[in-house]
């Protein structure tokens, strides 16, 4: 059986005197989009940071493509692409110049021609390639981030609130790009508040509350309305059945 690209085993993370992640077990195979839902403080971003090696687990392990992050954080990061909520680019450099600069930092040779191909693949129109990044919308900056992921040939992509602040058209376009990355074999872990986007793009959905993964199911098994009811039930401290939508007080 093929090992998952992203894996957390009984992960525990303590931060500022509280338990941010509590015994998290999570697997994201190649060619899969996994959406993590939850309110502020649920542990979604801390989970991404654990895969990036930015937090030290109190116990448990996280792996990227079989590499233990605690033992080789740089080796793990070399296999990852990370798109934060706001992709930071150098405003006075063009899209192509930003892409080539960040690839140089990652020791990835990308000439101008290849940079243009990567940006097109990521959905950035040719006319925008030479424009300064200061003129870019959030969606355009994300596409440069996607192009960097393609250049790295990343095995996995971590997305933190990727559709926050996007208009419906840009969010739909971004969902198409995420599905294309999945279809190319990438494992995608997405932390989001956006229930609609999670249902639209994810293969599997997990709901976090107070650092624990309280529910996980295949996205196709629930409709949009049922997903909203399940999410709200857990947000209120209830346990919800994803197939019957029945809710009861959580133990």
Per-residue pLDDT tens over the stretch 8-46: 999 999 887 788 889 999 999 999 999 999 888 888 899
**Across residues 168-182, what is the average pLDDT?**
85
Q: Measuring CA to CA, how many Å separate 204 from each of 143, 184, 191? A: 24, 17, 12
Look at 4 and 85; give whichever has higher pLDDT: 4
The predicted pLDDT at position 248 comes to 46
Q: Are 195 and 219 in contact (CB under 8 A)?
A: no
**Across residues 214-234, what is the average pLDDT?**
88
Would the pLDDT of 250 be above 50?
Answer: no
Would the pLDDT of 178 be above 60?
Answer: yes
Lowest-pLDDT range of 62-66, 86-90, 123-127, 243-247: 243-247
**Across residues 70-86, what is the average pLDDT?**
88
Residue 118's pLDDT band (boundaries 50, 70, 90)?
very high
Q: Render pLDDT for 131-167 as a digit per residue (tens, 0 to 9).
A: 999 999 888 898 998 898 888 888 899 999 887 777 7
DSSP string over the chain: -PPPSEEEEEEEEEETTEEEEEEEEEEE-TTEEEEEE--TTSSHHHHHHHHHT-S--SEEEEEETTEETTT-HHHHHTTEEEE-SS----TTSBHHHHHHHHHHHTT----HHHHHHHHHHTT--GGGTTSBGGG--HHHHHHHHHHHHHHHT-SEEEEESTTTT--HHHHHHHHHHHHHHHHTT-EEEEEES-HHHHHHH-SEEEEEETTEEEEEEEGGGS-HHHHHHHHHHHHTTEEE-TTT--EEE--
Alpha carbons 46 and 49: distance in angstroms, whole number: 5
pTM equals 0.87
Residue 190's pLDDT band (boundaries 50, 70, 90)?
very high
Q: Render pLDDT for 233-246 as a digit per residue (tens, 0 to 9).
A: 887 766 655 555 44
The predicted pLDDT at position 241 comes to 58
């Amino acid at each position: 059986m093929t090992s998952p690209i992203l894996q957390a085993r009984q992960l525990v993370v303590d931060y500022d005197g509280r338990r941010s992640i509590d015994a998290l077990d999570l697997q994201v195979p190649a060619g899969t989009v996994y959406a993590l839902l939850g309110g502020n403080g649920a542990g979604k971003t801390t989970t991404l940071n654990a895969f990036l090696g930015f937090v030290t687990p109190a116990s448990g392990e996280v792996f990227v493509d079989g590499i233990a992050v605690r033992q080789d954080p740089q080796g793990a990061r070399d296999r990852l692409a990370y798109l934060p909520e706001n992709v930071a680019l150098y405003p006075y450099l063009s899209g192509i110049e930003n892409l080539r600069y960040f690839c140089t930092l990652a020791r990835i040779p990308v000439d101008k021609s290849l940079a243009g191909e990567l940006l097109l693949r990521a959905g950035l129109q040719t006319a925008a390639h030479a424009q300064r990044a200061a003129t870019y919308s959030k969606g355009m900056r994300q596409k440069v981030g996607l192009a960097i992921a393609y250049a790295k040939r990343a095995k996995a992509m971590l997305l933190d609130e990727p559709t926050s602040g996007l208009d419906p058209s840009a969010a739909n376009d971004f969902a198409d790009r995420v599905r294309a990355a999945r279809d190319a074999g990438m494992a995608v872990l997405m932390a989001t508040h956006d229930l609609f986007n999670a249902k639209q793009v994810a293969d599997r959905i997990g709901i976090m509350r107070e650092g624990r993964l309280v529910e996980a199911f295949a996205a196709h098994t629930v409709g949009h309305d049922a997903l909203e009811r399940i999410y709200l039930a857990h947000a209120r401290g209830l346990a919800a059945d994803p197939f019957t939508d029945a809710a009861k007080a959580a133990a």
